[in-house]
Amino acid sequence: MTYDLADEIGEDNAYTRTVIADASIRCLEFFQVKDASSGVVVQGMEDGSALKEVVHNVRFEVLTEKTDNDEPGRKVGSWKIIDIDDMLEGNVFH
């Protein structure tokens, strides 16, 4: 499928490409939102609660560019986080 898509796009239009990677990241978390004026916890864990093990799903994206000369390969840019815990509801193109 990947080769078919590359053939369909053609070499002239393949200067830049986007690579998307999904990762599951396991961590210990303490989450709390307090009202600044009263100090009352409005969401999350109470003070003194133990850390909770959670898994966050993180989607990364990087842009690659064709090299300027005839050398094979691509230049890889910097990875960016484009979604956390599917807050964009699967919309990988935001």
What pLDDT band is residue 31 in, cutting at 50, 70 and 90? very high
What pLDDT band is residue 10 in, cutting at 50, 70 and 90? low
Q: What is the pLDDT of residues 41-84, one digit of tens each?
A: 999 999 999 999 999 999 999 998 887 777 777 889 999 999 99
For every residue of 49-69, DSSP letters joined together read PPPEEEEEEEEEEEEEEE-SS
What pLDDT band is residue 13 in, cutting at 50, 70 and 90? low
Distance between CA atoms of residues 79 and 82, nearest Å: 9
Q: What is the dihedral of CA 44, 87, 1, 3, to 10 degrees?
A: -100
